[in-house]
Structure 1
Amino acid sequence: MTSSLRARGALIVGCLVTALALAGCATSSDAEADAPAEAPDTETTTTDPAGFCDLYPDHATLIGVIESPPSEAAEAVTTVVGLTPGFVATTPPEDIADEWGVLSEYFSEIAAHFADVDTDDDTALGDALEAMPERVNELAFAAADAAYTVGEFAAVECGTGDAAGTTVTDACTLLSEADAPLVAVMGGDVPEGESSDLGFGWIQCQWEAAASDNEVWVMLVPIDEFRSEYLDESTPLANSEIDELEDGAAYEGMIGTGSFSTSGHAVSFTAGDVGGFVSVRTGDGDSRAEDVGAATQLAIAVVGRL
């Protein structure tokens, strides 16, 4: 498994990566850079729900930069600078007013920071990314949550089809003491799982046995990122395809969202708009048959509950 898999998780957790998914922690201590951005000087557009839906396509384009990869930094910056004034000027339906406010502040901070940056100049763009205002990083997770809520609202009220294909927000709900393979790996009593939510649809749960080093991990990631950052960057064990699972195969080591262990084994799967791994470690973590067998059964159970 390549280090790029761990780097993604480290970026999100360590740097509170911005909604542009741009690399680099905020390093600027400049007072002007850290000051709250002023809202763009533009007329306010008050909308009823129907009017909001008419305007939403442009707003959806702006919100979409939250999941832009680092390779699209220049395009993302251009989008934010160009579309933020219209976003801030729109008064949304009351149901999403708070979320809209969070996103307005977030995008305004970014737009103000990059307003005079030439995005065609890689050096200038890189310098601006390294000097990202601290307020942008502080708002990153809140903006991601707000974007999700706004997208769900638009899917229902505007028929955008943006609603998430899976409603699972806690990976620990996908397995329980009713699952015999989990009970077996844990050696009897199943402890409470440790849930992690890194934002952007990246979730994980870890169970650790009380009387041994046995562990089970379940992680879910949006399908496009799962393919590009996991499946395309890793090599499964030879002859390990699993017919019962879409994109099912076995891998050396335990694989999580921003975490990796060289012991144990992982089984991949995809289902609809998500992909993931179920990882199992038994004993010293070198028993492929036992680890992969349990991981496969648990992965089938997980897919059935998505």
Structure 2
Amino acid sequence: MSAAQLVHDIGYGLEFKGWYDRLFPKDDSAARTAGHLAALHPAPAAGTVEFGVGTGRIALPLAGLVGPVTGVDSSPEMLDGLRAALAGRTDVEPVHGDIRTYRADRTAGLVYCVCGTLSMLLSPEEQQLAVRRAADLLAPGGRLVVETHNRPAIHALHEGRSHATYFTPYPERGTGLQTHSTLLPENDLWHCSHIWYEADGSTRVGTELSRLTTPDEVDAYARAAGLVPESRLAGWDGEPYAERSPMFVCTYVKAGTGSGPDGGDVVAEGGSGPGGGAPSGGGEAS
């Protein structure tokens, strides 16, 4: 394998192996998110790519709506989980790749990067590279959708302190996630140590590091990559963006039109507003 083919893995999948799907279940919220992405897809026949596919929480239901999805992830453990979840299905293609450098032989009508994946790249330069890769993959008229953590809301959660601890109850009785959160403001970094509680009293521990962003910052990445900002929302149900929103969803369009594989133009059309979203501190592996 050449240096250009090497994939840098931050170890997220190894950290959360065996309990990632407890944190991010393949539930109704995942199906709703997939439904919104399907509505945003300008041309399903032109192809779909997910940056940070994880174990397929979004890609699996989305493939049932729009056709094959290529899922890119740097984590072998996450991709193993996706292969197990496919259970014979062939409509999601697991690809071991780095979203900062991934290239493909064909373009796509939709590229999406959700559940905080972009935040797992720890510098503006790395985040810009990922957006540029997405832009290069898009056919003219194609759409990029980004969902990630909202810096002002995470800062407000800390109420001026560098450390905060909070608990997120889950629907299943006796389960929940306790997060010990630390802000490292010099680099806009956010360090989270999680304790997962099972109903039987057992626990699991994992840590992650993210770089917080704002919609303005992601808009700047997109413009530099030749994309046109289209919408800015607080979540998948179409509510307007607000600084108190833990996550934000932004969409971008690649200017122009182009021919899809069926000979028709790939034209970005208005879709339904981008449900779901991850608990604070979570994210798909990039």
Normalised TM-score (structure 2) = 0.23
Higher relative contact order (CA 8 A, sep 6+): 2
Q: Which structure shows the higher helix fraction? A: 1
Normalised TM-score (structure 1) = 0.22
Q: Which structure shows the higher strand fraction? A: 2
